[in-house]
């Protein structure tokens, strides 16, 4: 099953949005495979956002993502990479549609609440960057006999 890497950015953590964001993906029907609250080192930030190295906002981006705890997650499900990007909304919250995460909670492009992998290649790369294989859990949601 397809997996994606999602991360509540420092602004989302500071604003107590972890629960609401997790809830959206749970309610959509995706399966959580791993999650942790963590600090991002400069080295990890530069690797993660390596594709933007030459952009004028790179320094600010690295400074922001290392500024406080993030909530890193791996989610699993059919077409989860593209679906999660749709649920996040456009990069600039001013263009993100209402009912998307950035549309509902964000204001400015530099602090847009959540990161999500943009392709199968990025998902594979980012999951490996942030998670050890032992931190990801494979399980089935089939035994419902204990839910009343
Ligand atoms: P992300 O990687 O964080 O999920 O965001 P994204 O794919 O929607 O956008 P991307 O083009 O990958 O840009 C990465 C992050 O850089 C910041 N940014 N600032 N000042 C600017 O013009 C500008 N453009 C991009 C955003 O915080 C964006 O999420
Ligand atoms: Mg991106």
pLDDT of residue 147 exceeding 90, the answer is no
pLDDT in tens, 13-49: 999 999 999 999 999 999 999 999 999 999 999 999 9
Minimum CA distance residue for ligand 1 atom 2: 115
91 labelled binding-site residue = yes
102 labelled binding-site residue = yes
Mutate to test the pocket of ligand 1, among 44, 57, 63, 114 (most ligand atoms within 8 A of CB): 57
ipTM above 0.90, yes or no: yes
52 is catalytic: no
Give the ligand whose atoms come closest to the C-alpha of residue 9: 1
Reduced to 3 states (helix: H, G, I; strand: E, B; else coil), residue 40 is: coil
pLDDT in tens, 64-73: 999 999 999 9
Compute how many other C-beta atoms are within 10 angstroms of the C-beta atom of residue 133: 8
Q: Where are the beta strands (DSSP E) in the chain?
A: 3-8, 31-38, 70-76, 114-116
Is this model's pTM higher than 0.90 or not? yes
């Amino acid at each position: 099953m397809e997996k994606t890497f999602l991360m509540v950015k420092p602004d989302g953590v500071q604003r107590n949005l972890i629960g609401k964001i997790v809830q959206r993906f749970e309610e959509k029907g995706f399966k959580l495979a791993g999650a942790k609250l963590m600090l991002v080192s400069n080295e990890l930030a530069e690797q993660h956002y390596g594709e933007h190295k030459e952009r004028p906002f790179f320094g600010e981006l690295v400074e922001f993502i290392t500024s406080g705890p993030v909530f890193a997650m791996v989610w699993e499900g059919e077409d989860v990479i593209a679906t999660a990007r749709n649920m996040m909304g456009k990069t600039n919250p001013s263009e993100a549609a209402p009912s998307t995460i950035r549309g509902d909670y964000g204001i400015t492009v530099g602090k847009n609440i959540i990161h999500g992998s943009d392709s199968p290649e990025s998902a594979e790369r980012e999951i490996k960057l942030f998670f050890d294989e032992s931190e990801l859990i494979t399980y089935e949601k089939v035994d419902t006999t204990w839910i009343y």
